[in-house]
Amino acid sequence: MATISTAAANDLVRAAHQHAEQIGVPSTVTVLDAGGRFVAGARMDGAPLISIDTSAAKARTAVFFKTATGDLVGAIQPGAPLFTIGAATGEELTFLAGGIPLFDDAGELRGAIGSGGGTPEQDAEIAGAAVEATS
């Protein structure tokens, strides 16, 4: 199984926090490996305490579904395929934007990044900027 290195995870956290500073949104960023285990993370001064949990849940959801969390929102609506998972999961998952899976050049899942602290759109922007800056 491919997985993200600690150095690469720390680079993602730094890049995410740089972008968060640029847009004025204190955030917490969590990077998990391909098995959903913690590799790196940090909470910026001023980021809401709940963002510790939401950033991890976004990264975990992106790992489990191998999809950006913002792309799953429609799948958890009543009558949609993942509605029961979204409504009754025992896992710490969230279907808010801000989680992005990380793949290697061969398409293998390496892990995921999750950002919390802003709006879902801001969190997705922060996580996406980190991935783009470190690619």
Query: Tens digit of pLDDT for each residue in 16-27?
Result: 999 999 999 999
Confidence band, pLDDT 50/70/90 cuts, at residue 73: confident
pLDDT on residue 91: 58
Between 32 and 73, the higher pLDDT residue: 32
Residue 93 has pLDDT above 90, yes or no: no
The mean pLDDT value for 13-38 works out to 98
Task: Enumerate the domain spans of the chain.
Answer: 6-134
Which are the contacts of 111, defined by CB distance < 8 A and separation ≥ 6? 3, 4, 9, 31, 32, 33, 34, 39, 59, 63, 101, 102
Confidence band, pLDDT 50/70/90 cuts, at residue 30: very high
Confidence band, pLDDT 50/70/90 cuts, at residue 68: very high
Strand ranges in 44-130 using DSSP code E only, listed in sequence order: 99-103, 109-116
pLDDT on residue 83: 61
Spatial separation of the C-alpha atoms in residues 21 and 71, rounded to whole Å: 25
**pTM of the full structure:** 0.90
Check: CB of residue 101 under 8 Å from CB of residue 112.
Answer: yes
Residue 135 has pLDDT above 90, yes or no: no
Domain 6-134: homologous superfamily in CATH: Haem-degrading domain (3.30.450.150)
The answer to which of 31-35, 68-72, 82-86, 105-109 has the lowest mean pLDDT is: 82-86
- Give the orientation angle of helix 120-134 with respect to helix 50-65, to 10 degrees: 60
Confidence band, pLDDT 50/70/90 cuts, at residue 90: low
